[in-house]
Chains A and B, each alone.
Chain A
Amino acid sequence: MSDQQLNNLIKMLDQIIANNLHHGDDEKVTDVAADHLQKFWARSMKQQIIAYANQRPDELSILAKLTVDKLEPAVEV
C-alpha cells in the first residue's frame, strides 16, 4: 500500500463522514458511514483502512476511527 493510496482512502472516509454529519450524533453518523463503506468499498480498501486504524489509531479522526471500528467485523477476508 502506498502513502498516496492510504491518503486517498483517509480523504474519502473523511469526506463520507463530513457529508453525513446531518444524521445526528456520532453513533448515527458512523453507522451511516460504515454502511456506506460496506456497500461501496472494495475488500482490499476496507482491509487497508482497518489495518491503518489498528496500527495508528490516533491518526484518524475520532469519527473516522469509530466508523472503521464498526466496519471490522463485517469484512470477509
Chain B
Amino acid sequence: MLHYYDPSTQSYEPGKSGLNPDFDSFSRDLGTPPSLSEELVSISVDGRDITVPEGTSVLRAAALAGINIPKLCASDNLEAFGSCRLCAVEIEGRRGYPASCTTPVAEGMAVTTQTGKLAKLRRNIMELYISDHPLDCLTCPANGNCELQDVAGVVGLREVRYGFDGENHLDAETDNSNPYFSFDPSKCIVCSRCVRACDEVQGTFALTIEGRGFDSKVVASQNDPFMDSECVSCGACVQACPTSTLMEKSVIEEGQPEHSIVTTCAYCGVGCSFKAEMKGDQVVRMVPYKGGEANHGHSCVKGRFAFGYATHDDRIREPMIRDSINDPWKVVSWDEALAFSAKKLKGIQAEYGRESIGGITSSRCTNEETYLVQKLVRAAFGNNNTDTCARVCHSPTGYGLKTTLGESAGTQTFDSVMKADTIMVIGANPTDAHPVFGSLMRKRLRQGAKLIVIDPRRIDLVHTPNAEEGLHLPLRPGTNVAIVNALAHVIVTEGLEDQAFINSRCDTEAYNTWRRFIAEERNSPEATESVTGVAADKVREAARMYAQADNGAIYYGLGVTEHSQGSTMVMGIANLALATGNIGKEGGGVNPLRGQNNVQGSCDMGSFPHELPGYQHVNDQAVRERFEAVWGVPIDNEPGLRIPNMFDAAIAGSFKALYVQGEDIAQSDPNTQHVEAALKALDCLIVQDIFLNETAKFAHVLLPGSTFLEKNGTFTNAERRINRVRKVMEPVAGMEDWEVTMALSNALGYPMHYNHPSEIMDEIASLTPTFTGVNYDKLEQLGSIQWPCNDEYPDGTPTMHTVDFPIGKGRFAVTEYLASEERASRRFPLLLTTGRILSQYNVGAQTRRTSNSDWHEEDVLELHPSDAELRGVKDGDWLGISSRVGHTVLRAKLSTRMLPGVVYTTFHHPGSGANVVTTDNSDWATNCPEYKVTAVQVEKVSQPSDWQRDFVDFDKRQQALLKPAMSKQENSHATTLK
C-alpha cells in the first residue's frame, strides 16, 4: 500500500512544502528566465565551474552553481531589467560592477560575487531603499516572507545615514478597491516587477510606472483604483512584489502561512498547479506553482483567489433525505441516507426495470470519482445509463477527433503554442475562459505569431497589446462548417496542401473523396460569403496565413462543438490540420480548449453511455470480457441513455431515478423548462454536491460533496495532462466523493473496496490501454503525465500522432454544410449565442459565493447599438428575450463586439434563465445541445418573466425547506468545533 499525505494522520514536516521532494526546487528564484540555446558555455563563479546554455545570465548561472547573488528587481519569470543594481558582480578583465542579471555568460568568464567593494555598493543601495521605506517590519503582513527584508539582512545593512525625515512616500494612500489584494504604495520600491509581470506574464499591460525619478510610482491604468482599471486580478503582480506593497488581503488578515501542499485547480481545463498555502487546516492563499507544467507559476482570478466557496456557510455538511420535493429536508446519518437511496433505486428497478435508473458524472470531479460513478452504473445498476456533462460541451470533440485522427483528445501541450507561427482560434475566448493559456498565447503573439479569430464576437484576443492585430472573421452563428469548408477550399485550390504529409500519413481514398468534395465551387469563400457573412477575401487571407505558416495551430472551444453540426465542424478542423501537415509536431495541432477542469478526464474515464474507460465501445466483446473479469459482473452490450435521452424518458415515464454527482443539470442544460419537467417526473433524484444547487432543489437525497481541497485524486486537463489533486483539509461531511460512491455501491449490494484513490487509478490503468503506465508513484516522480502513458510511451506523450495515428492513417471526412433548423425569422429576427466571462465559472455555484461577483453581479444581454436603436433600447434597460421555447428578462448592455443581428449573454446566474430560451436542438452525432444558436426576439419590458417569478418562488420554497436542516447542521458543526 502506498502512503500519501493525509492531514488527518500525518503532521507537517517543517522545510517540506508538499509531497514531492522536487517541489522545493521550484521554490527557488533563479533570477532570470532560462535560455533555450543548445550551445553551452562554461564559466566560473567564485571559483565554482558551471556550464550553462549560451544566453544565460550571470545571475542565473551563479544561482545554478548554488551561489545566490542579492537581487530585488530580478525574478526568473521576468526578463532581466537591471534597475536595482544589487546583483552587481566583478568580472575578471572587465571594468566596473556589471549587473549580473543583464550580463550574459561568456566562455571562460570568471565571476566574483562577494568582495568588499561589492558589499559596500550593495549596502549603499539598500540604504537608499530603506530611507524611503516604513520600518514597521514586525507588524508588516510580509513579515517572514519579505525579499526586501531578506536582502537587507544579506547585505548586512546596519544603519541608514540619511535618516527618515527627508522627502518620502510613507504617507501614500493604500488602494483597497480590489477584494483580494491591497496596494500600499508606501511600501513600494519601484522595482517594476509588478509592471513587468502584468506585461510579460499576464499580457494585460494594466500597470505602468508614472512620473520620473523620485516621483516614479506604480499606477493602474490612468492612475485609477485597481478595481476600476484594466487589471484582471490574475495575481501576477502580487506574486512578483518583493515587499508587501501588493499583498493578499487573506495574508493581511490571517498572517503568513506555515506550510503548503501542491494541488490542481478545479476551475477551467487549463488545470493550473497551485500551492495551497495553509495555516493548520485553513487555506490562507493559493499561490500558482512554478513547477506546474500547465501554468508555469501563472494564475487567473478564479484559481488564485476564488477558493472561499470551500468554507462558505451554504456548504451541505450532512446527508439529507425527503420523500417528496415538497417536504422539508431531514438530516440523517450517512448509513441512513445510503440505505434510503439504495432502497429507492432497487425498488424502482424492481417496478420499472433495470434500465429505469442512471447516473451522471461530472467534469468537476476527479478521474477516480468519475470512474467509480460509471462503474456503479454499469456494474451495480446493471445498465449503461451513464453520461457526463461533457455531453453538453465537448462530446462532438470525441466523435470528430476519433473519426479523423483516431483519438478523442487534443494533440499538443499548451507550451506548443510558443512554436506556432499562425494561431487560429475558433469559437473560443481564451483570455476569459482559459485565462492562463490565453496569457501564454498572447506572449506568443507579442513575439510575432499571426492570429486568426473565427467568432461571431470580437473577443479580446483580437487586440493583444504590443502585437499585430488579429484577423477577425465575424461569422454568423451556425455557419461554422461553411467557413471551415471555405478555408479548406482555398488550401486545396491554391495548392497550399502539404502533399508529402498527405501521401505518407493519410488514407488515400478518404483524401481523394474529400478533395473532390471540397474543391467544388460551392465551397469557395465567394460562394459561402452570403451564408457566413464573412468577406471572401478575408477568408482567403486567413486560409493562406494558416496554410503557409511553418507551424499552424488551431484552438477551439464550445463555439465549435455546441452546434447542430458540432461534430462535423470538429472533423472540418481536423481536415485543415491534415491537409497542411500540422499534426504530429510542436507548434501545430488540433486543440480543444476544455471548459471545465476535468472534461478530458471524465470522457477518458468511460462516462459516456457507449464507451467504457479509454473510449472502448461496450459492444466490443473482448473489451467487455476484460472489464467483467475485474468487476465480476456482466456488462450490458448496448449503449445507455444520454442526458437528453434521459430527460425525454423521464417525461415519458420510463426513466425514474437518477444519481447526479457534482453537476447542475437544472441550470446548465438547455431548455430549462424541459429539464425541470424531467426532474420533477423522477421518483428518486440523488444529488451529491457541495451546495443546494438548482438540481438539488428537485432532489430526494442530498449527499454532501467535497471540494477539490478536501480530497485526493487526479484531474486531466485539456492537454491530456494527468495532475494530482491533493487533500489539504478534511471533507466537511467526513467522506470524499469517491468514498460516497463506494458506500452507495456497497449499500446496493455491489461491493467496492478501495483504501485510496491510488488503488482506483491502478484499476483504471489495468483496464485502459492509454493509461497502463499511470500510477501515483509515477505521478509523484514526474509531477504530471500526459496520456498515452504505456509501454510504448512510459513517461507519457506530449505531442500526439508524431509517427502514425491510432487508426493507422489520418482520415479526411467529408463535411457537408447543413444550415441549422434554428434560423432567424420575422418572429425571432436575432440570433442569441452564449458564453462565459473571466470572473465567473460555468453555473457560478462556486464563484458566485466569492468576491468574484464584484466583477459580474448579473448576466446581461449584449446587443449591437443598431439593434438597440431599432427597438429603442438603452444601456441598462430591462429586455425580454423570447425564443420558441421560452422567455426571460435580462438587462441590456450595448456592445459592438457582435455583428448586428447577434445578441450574447452568459449563464452564470440561475435566475437569469439564459437556458430558458436555449432550445433542445442538438448535434446530429452526439446530442450536444446547440447553445450557440437560438433565434430570439428582444423587446423592452418592465417586469421579470413568468419563469423568473416562478424561479424566485420555487427557490424561496426550497430554501425554506432546507433551512431547518441547515440550522441543525450548523449546531452540530459548532458542537464538533467545540
Task: List residues of chain A with CB under 8 Å of any chain B CB.
Answer: 1-2, 4-5, 8, 12, 15-16, 18-19, 21-23, 36, 38-46, 76
Contact = CB atoms under 8 A, between A and B. Distances in A.
Contact of A5 (B385, B565, B619, B649): B649
A45 B818 contact: no
Contacts of B619: 38-39
Given A5-B651, A36-B925, A39-B619, A22 B637 contact: no
B355 A22 contact: no
Contact of A40 (B636, B639, B818): B639
A21 B924 CA distance: 13
A44 B355 contact: yes
A65 to B, nearest CB: 19
A22 B517 contact: yes
Nearest to A15: B924
Contact of B639 (A8, A16, A19, A42): A42
B896 interface: no
B649 A41 contact: no
A63 B945 CA distance: 42
The 10 lowest CB-CB distance pairs between A and B, nearest first, are A2-B652, A15-B924, A43-B638, A5-B648, A19-B924, A5-B652, A22-B814, A42-B641, A22-B816, A42-B640
A16 B399 CA distance: 13
Contacts of A76: 637-638
19 contacts: A4-B651, A5-B648, A5-B649, A5-B651, A8-B644, A12-B922, A15-B564, A16-B924, A18-B818, A18-B924, A22-B816, A39-B639, A40-B925, A41-B639, A42-B355, A42-B638, A42-B640, A43-B638, A45-B645
Contacts of B457: none
B654 interface: yes
Contacts of A44: 355, 641, 649, 654
B419 interface: no
Contacts of B610: 39-40
B390 to A, nearest CB: 15
B551 interface: no
A45 B641 contact: yes
A4 to B, nearest CB: 7
Nearest to B565: A19
Contacts of B814: 22-23
Contacts of B644: 8
B609 interface: yes
A3 to B, nearest CB: 9
A5 B517 CA distance: 35
B426 to A, nearest CB: 19
A45 B654 CA distance: 11
B925 A16 contact: yes
B693 interface: no
Contact of B645 (A23, A36, A38, A42): A42
Interface string B637-665: 11111101100110111100000000000
B346 interface: no
Given A19-B816, A40-B639, A44-B355, 18 more contacts: A2-B648, A2-B652, A12-B924, A12-B927, A16-B925, A22-B517, A39-B619, A40-B926, A42-B355, A42-B384, A42-B638, A42-B642, A43-B355, A43-B636, A43-B638, A44-B641, A44-B649, A76-B637
Given A39-B639, A42-B639, A19 B654 contact: no
A4 B641 contact: no
Contacts of B927: 12
A53 B517 CA distance: 33
B598 interface: no
Contact of B651 (A2, A22, A41): A2
B934 interface: no
B648 A42 contact: no
